Chain A
Amino acid sequence: MESGAAVRGAARPQRPKSLRTRFGNLLSFRWAAIALILIGWFVYYPIVDNFIVSTTDQDIYTGEVTNVGLANYDRLLHDPVVLLALWNNCLYAIISIVFQVFGAFLLAAIIEDLRSERWRRLWRAIYFVPSAISITVTGLLFYFIYQPQIGLLDAALSRVGLSQLVLPWLGNEHTAIYAIIAMSQWQGFGYSTLLFAIAIQKIPRDLYDAATMDGAGPLRRLWSITFPLTREMTGLMIIVTITGAFQVFNEVMVMTAGGPNNSSQVLGTWLYQKAFIEDNFGYGSAIAAVIFVLTMLTGAAQLWYTKRRRVQL
């Protein structure tokens, strides 16, 4: 039955396709069938449906659906928390690019410059550990660390004589979002350091040897060899980081749930607040649509970037 499909193209001379081979070729779809159904049903369809829901106002208790057109989007434009959330997402992106892209790049360069492979492996592994742990755990952990009564941070600050800096970090409108972002850097920098380390390992060693022969110091080698030759990874990491920053949800949810006074809301938590706490699916979907557009833009940038490198996707 399957032999018609299994014969590989190059093995036989071309001849007009018989119905039987065509049927055999179609049968090959069965290999991808489950994936296509699952993805279509649970990944693509919800996105389409989201746009439909966003033009409605739905009461989930009575199930009553009213079509409201673009009213939810209009409301979105006049919602100050949406603007604040968007700004917090941008802060997330900017700070993460500084620490998790450029900081991680420098750290990876320092680690890969060590002579002993055992030490290199150890540092990479140590810095990575927080990335392996669930955001719920690290979020709760930092919730405790930032707490004034039992936390490490304020205790450490007063111990080194900086007690004027002691603060309820997550309870303060001005510091909450920064405290969350700081936790996120702590958790995520090891992951990008590992990726940069992998990229640096792919650079041929003799380039460095030749540069050293020519009298190039470590900084010069970093700037003239390591940086240019990992630029693709840097570009990709910037895009991935921005995408991640617009999808942030877990850490904010666990640590402050957007508070105090909505000061640490991001788009994801505001969506949750509106859709699931206030039961407003229509407005929640409109916020989701904003996240969708933003991530599609960065996704398109990523596609363009990888295509440009002629990488087979």
Chain B
Amino acid sequence: MSATVAAGRARHVNVWSVIARTFLYSFLVCLGVVVIYPLIWMALSGFKDNAQIFGDPFALPVHWSWNNYVQAWNQGVRGYVTVSVLVTVASAICTVLISAWTAFGLTRTRMPAKPLVIAIVLGGLMLSPTVAIIPLVKMLQALGLYNTYWALIILYTAFRVPFTTFLIRAYMLDLPGDIDEAATMDGASEGQIFWRITLPLCRPIIISCVILHVLFAWNEYLFAMIFTSGSDVQTLPVGLTSIMATHGTNYAVVFAAMTISALPIVIVFFAAQRYFIRGLSEGIGK
């Protein structure tokens, strides 16, 4: 008696769980379409001509031509990409090196007043760029750095060192200390220990930090907009809005430019997903 009731309930549950699963899967697919379709639309619109853009937005391009992409590339995007690469690479190197030094000092040396240093560095995490923007404009104008790459490289570094130090320090705390103790016994200096032992051991987290920084620097808008005015020192995000302003009516070129600027970072994300996720989980999950 009780066995049949149980079997009946199991079948009942199965029907509902099949319905629930189908519903959930279709939900995931629909959401996926909502997320991806606008991006595909953007890339496709880059292939259309203006007449077609004003036609049916769901239609595929009639003539697949790279004209708009070539035009966008030649009319400014190339320059913006160069600046973006330069600023991103330079600030990534500075940020990661300075953060690794700081993390090393905080975990591997007898630096006095460590808690104070930690509080100062990590306190920087709470301060937002928006709040500092007006004094920074005055300061960088006074330093003669306004409208130069240096403004962006310095600010990206200064504002990202706290977070990056936080990640690298957490990783270094988990590293065993006996290797560098042995090295100290053998007469290695702190500098040698950092470059030869600690830094190589931190490789995984360093890669994660570089990727998180690249993502930040490639996409940053507020500083880039305020501190650069000449098109020769503008990064992609700001350059895009300039292209929008100058090619305002030629939407197809704007779509092409948007696609060109989104593509590298999507590729970086898919290629380095593992490191990226590690960085995130270390950063916020800890």
User: Distance in Å from the Cβ of B133 to the closest Cβ of chain A?
Assistant: 7
Count of B interface residues, CB-CB < 8 Å: 104
Residues from chain A with Cβ under 8 Å of B265 in the complex: 132-134
- Residues of B99-137 at the interface with A, using a CB-CB cut-off of 8 Å, are 99, 101-102, 104-106, 109-112, 117-118, 120-128, 130-136
Report whether A247 and B128 are in contact in the complex, using a CB–CB cutoff of 8 Å. Answer: yes
- Given A39-B120, A46-B139, A295-B126, decide whether A133 and B262 contact each other with a Cβ distance below 8 A: yes
Interface: B191 (CB within 8 A): yes
Task: Find the B residue at minimum CB distance from A30.
Answer: B105
Report whether A36 and B236 are in contact in the complex, using a CB–CB cutoff of 8 Å. Answer: no
Report whether B128 and A291 are in contact in the complex, using a CB–CB cutoff of 8 Å. Answer: yes
* A24 and B266 alpha carbons, distance in the complex (Å): 47
- Given A29-B105, A42-B159, A199-B285, decide whether A134 and B134 contact each other with a Cβ distance below 8 A: no
Binds A, one of B66-74, B201-209, B216-224: B216-224
Interface: B22 (CB within 8 A): no
Report whether B121 and A39 are in contact in the complex, using a CB–CB cutoff of 8 Å. Answer: yes
- Given A133-B219, A140-B240, A150-B53, decide whether A31 and B111 contact each other with a Cβ distance below 8 A: yes
Binds B, one of A3-11, A76-84, A161-169, A170-178: A3-11
Task: Find the A residue at minimum CB distance from B164.
Answer: A35
Contact with B39, one of A40, A127, A130 (Cβ below 8 angstroms): A130
Scoring A42, A45, A47, A149 by chain B CB atoms within 10 A of each residue's CB, the highest score goes to A42
Interface: B34 (CB within 8 A): yes
- Residues of B186-203 at the interface with A, using a CB-CB cut-off of 8 Å, are 187-191, 193
Report whether B285 and A32 are in contact in the complex, using a CB–CB cutoff of 8 Å. Answer: no
Does more than half of chain B's interface fall in helix, strand or loop, or is it mixed?
A: helix
Interface: A224 (CB within 8 A): no
- Given A140-B254, A236-B284, decide whether A6 and B109 contact each other with a Cβ distance below 8 A: yes
Residues from chain B with Cβ under 8 Å of A73 in the complex: none
Report whether B251 and A144 are in contact in the complex, using a CB–CB cutoff of 8 Å. Answer: yes
Task: Find the B residue at minimum CB distance from A143.
Answer: B244
Q: Which bucket holds chain A's interface residue count?
A: 35 or more
Scoring A142, A149, A199, A288 by chain B CB atoms within 10 A of each residue's CB, the highest score goes to A288
Interface string of A126-160 (1 = CB under 8 A from B): 11111011111100111011000111100100010
Interface: A229 (CB within 8 A): no
Report whether B38 and A126 are in contact in the complex, using a CB–CB cutoff of 8 Å. Answer: no
Report whether A43 and B127 are in contact in the complex, using a CB–CB cutoff of 8 Å. Answer: yes
Report whether A291 and B184 are in contact in the complex, using a CB–CB cutoff of 8 Å. Answer: no
Report whether A35 and B32 are in contact in the complex, using a CB–CB cutoff of 8 Å. Answer: no
Interface string of B268-284 (1 = CB under 8 A from A): 11100100010011001
- Residues of A96-146 at the interface with B, using a CB-CB cut-off of 8 Å, are 107, 110-111, 123, 125-130, 132-137, 140-142, 144-145
Residues from chain A with Cβ under 8 Å of B170 in the complex: 312
Residues from chain B with Cβ under 8 Å of A39 in the complex: 120-121, 124, 158, 161-162
Interface: B228 (CB within 8 A): no
User: Distance in Å from the Cβ of B256 to the closest Cβ of chain A?
Assistant: 12
User: Distance in Å from the Cβ of A147 to the closest Cβ of chain B?
Assistant: 9
Task: Find the A residue at minimum CB distance from B188.
Answer: A6
User: Distance in Å from the Cβ of B39 to the closest Cβ of chain A?
Assistant: 7
Interface: A66 (CB within 8 A): no
Report whether A125 and B28 are in contact in the complex, using a CB–CB cutoff of 8 Å. Answer: no
Interface string of B232-265 (1 = CB under 8 A from A): 0000111011001000000100110010011001
* A132 and B237 alpha carbons, distance in the complex (Å): 13
User: Distance in Å from the Cβ of A29 to the closest Cβ of chain B?
Assistant: 6
Task: Find the B residue at minimum CB distance from A127.
Answer: B35
Residues from chain B with Cβ under 8 Å of A199 in the complex: 285
- Residue ranges of B at the interface with A (Cβ–Cβ < 8 Å): 13, 17, 20, 24, 27-28, 31-32, 34-39, 41-42, 45, 53-54, 56-58, 98-99, 101-102, 104-106, 109-112, 117-118, 120-128, 130-136, 138-139, 154-155, 157-159, 161-162, 165-166, 170, 173, 177, 181, 184, 187-191, 193, 215, 218-219, 221-222, 225-226, 236-238, 240-241, 244, 251, 254-255, 258, 261-262, 265-266, 268-270, 273, 277, 280-281, 284-286
18 A–B contacts, CB within 8 A, in A order: A6-B193, A35-B102, A41-B158, A49-B135, A53-B134, A125-B270, A134-B240, A134-B265, A144-B45, A149-B54, A150-B53, A195-B281, A198-B281, A243-B128, A247-B130, A250-B222, A271-B133, A313-B166
Apart from the given pairs A5-B190, A8-B181, 4 other A-B contacts in the complex at a CB distance below 8 Å: A9-B110, A145-B41, A159-B58, A302-B126
